[in-house]
Amino acid sequence: MKGQRFKFLLVMCLAVAMAVVVAACGDDSGSSGGETSSGQTEGAKKIDPASMDSAKGNVTYCTGKDTSGDLKEGVKEFNKANPGLTAKLLEFPESADEQRNQFIQRQRAKSADCDVFESDVVWTAEFASQKWLLDMTPYVESRKDEFVPSTLSSVTYEDKIWGAPRVSDAGLLYYRKDKIKQVPATWQEVYKQAQSGKGIVYQGASYEGLTVNFLELAFAAGGKILSDDGKKSVIDSPENLKALQFMVDGIKSGAAPKAVTTYMEEEARRTFEAGRADFERQWPYAYALGEMKGSKVAGKFDVAPYPEFEGGGKAAILGGHNSVISVYSKNPGGALKLVDYLTSEKRMTKNAVKYSKTPVLTASYDDPAVKKSLPFIDQLRQAVEQAKSRPVSPVYSQISQAIYKNVNNALSGSTDPKAALKKAQDDMDKALATF
């Protein structure tokens, strides 16, 4: 009898201990009320550009780890130039998922920790629909001509502008200039040359990077992901199939190594720098690293904007970060003033020259100092200008999973491309129907 009770207790204790672990990742939803509204961002508070004129007090800029140091310098300079205002930087972990989690947790708790948040371009719609951001339309509209137009598409959701672009990013085609005489005009030609040479590497692992890599080819082939009203998935189309089949054939023919299905940025970079690939699809950050001592390709490579997809056109996918202002900020005027400073031409140009950050302002691309320190700035400009946004949706994380999981299955050969796209479409429709 006592034995029985003890057993029961032990079972309960073990179970409870497990449950704590399982439930530990559960944070507070903090939601209440239950009103519905048709436009998800209806009634969002607008921020008045004039509010920054007389701003005083403290502001905090939340961001992922400032590895290059450009934000630290920016904040310091801002404090020097604005005696009545004190800005400080709050750094989150380096991983993108973790930055997003940290910000979401604070917003759910209606915390005033972050006046400004450095949001990845793909999070904007989600944050806006949760009413966590101030509507910055009037401010950004007043500076509209300064920005490279493509960068504004990532801050626009439901016809309102929710942030100011601060850093841009777009993929480039890295190639060995000692082996490749002339950059091929089409992707098909790139793969053909890759097949007879040492191959092409890209980001093919099952994660966000693969969504970008696939969409670059799919958009170039003329494909679309969501219907115009954004309510349905149209990924299962002949154009997208052409792009996916092209990637799958590339692996089968040996143009790309089988291992790309496990590659993220760093694996691809290491392979290219070890001289084991002739082409690489990569972000601009790898340029400076590739020229450093220890890289076997230093002085032997160059970059180009993406070529055309045969029978389609050119496309790239926009990366980068936007400065968004929290609806729970106690000092929105000061926050806007800080954003205004950090996205100013002076700052942007300095970031490009000193920290190799891709500018979002057209003026910075023309600056002689920038041209000197970033020799590939013209290629980069073309890449950013032709770049398209990833689908703008509050359920973006699920949409992206539907893409990268199924595309990865097709690349590794466990599903055929047609079935993979069909499954991606089903998964995405399910995602779009999320309550």
Residues 261 and 411: beta-carbon distance below 8 Å: yes
Instruction: State the minimum distance, in angstroms, from the CB of residue 141 to another protein.
Output: 24
Contact between 363 and another protein by CB under 8 A: the answer reads no
Nearer to another protein, 21 or 81 (CB): 21
CA geometry: angle at 326 spanning 324 and 330, to 5°? 130
* Residue span binding another protein (CB under 8 A) among the ranges 60-68, 97-105, 144-152, 370-378: 97-105
Contact between 35 and another protein by CB under 8 A: the answer reads yes
Number of residues that bind another protein (CB under 8 A): 63
d(CA 91, CA 70): 13
Contact between 46 and another protein by CB under 8 A: the answer reads no
Residue choice 153, 356, 362, 397 for contact with another protein (CB under 8 A): 397
Say which residue the tokens 């400076």 belong to.
288
Nearer to another protein, 130 or 186 (CB): 130
Contact between 181 and another protein by CB under 8 A: the answer reads no
**Distance set, CA 424 to CA 37, 122, 169, 237, 421 (Å):** 29, 19, 26, 11, 5
Contact between 9 and another protein by CB under 8 A: the answer reads yes
Could you give phi then psi for residue 65, rounded to 5 degrees? -45, 125
Instruction: State the minimum distance, in angstroms, from the CB of residue 277 to another protein.
Output: 10
Contact between 182 and another protein by CB under 8 A: the answer reads no
Contact between 104 and another protein by CB under 8 A: the answer reads yes
* Residue span binding another protein (CB under 8 A) among the ranges 9-17, 222-230, 339-347, 373-381: 9-17
Nearer to another protein, 207 or 341 (CB): 207
Instruction: State the minimum distance, in angstroms, from the CB of residue 186 to another protein.
Output: 27
Closest CA to 390 of 375, 406, 382, 402: 402
Instruction: State the minimum distance, in angstroms, from the CB of residue 48 to another protein.
Output: 22
Contact between 101 and another protein by CB under 8 A: the answer reads yes
Hey, how many other C-beta atoms are within 10 angstroms of the C-beta on 382? Answer: 17
Residue choice 188, 224, 398, 429 for contact with another protein (CB under 8 A): 398
Nearer to another protein, 78 or 127 (CB): 127
d(CA 164, CA 323): 5
Nearer to another protein, 233 or 343 (CB): 233
Say which residue the tokens 């629909």 belong to.
129
d(CA 393, CA 203): 23
CA geometry: angle at 116 spanning 338 and 45, to 5°? 100
Residue choice 48, 131, 275, 285 for contact with another protein (CB under 8 A): 131
* Residue span binding another protein (CB under 8 A) among the ranges 25-33, 168-176, 184-192, 315-323: 25-33
CA geometry: angle at 190 spanning 185 and 194, to 5°? 155
**Which pair of tokens denotes residue 301?**
């490579």
Contact between 268 and another protein by CB under 8 A: the answer reads no
Contact between 130 and another protein by CB under 8 A: the answer reads yes
Nearer to another protein, 292 or 435 (CB): 435
Contact between 50 and another protein by CB under 8 A: the answer reads no
**Which pair of tokens denotes residue 309?**
């997809």
Nearer to another protein, 257 or 312 (CB): 257
Contact between 97 and another protein by CB under 8 A: the answer reads yes
Where along the sequence are the contacts to another protein (CB under 8 A)?
2-3, 6-7, 9-11, 13-26, 29, 31-37, 40, 97, 101, 104, 126, 129-132, 205-207, 257-259, 261-262, 267, 270-271, 274, 276, 394-395, 397-398, 401, 405, 408, 412-414, 434-435
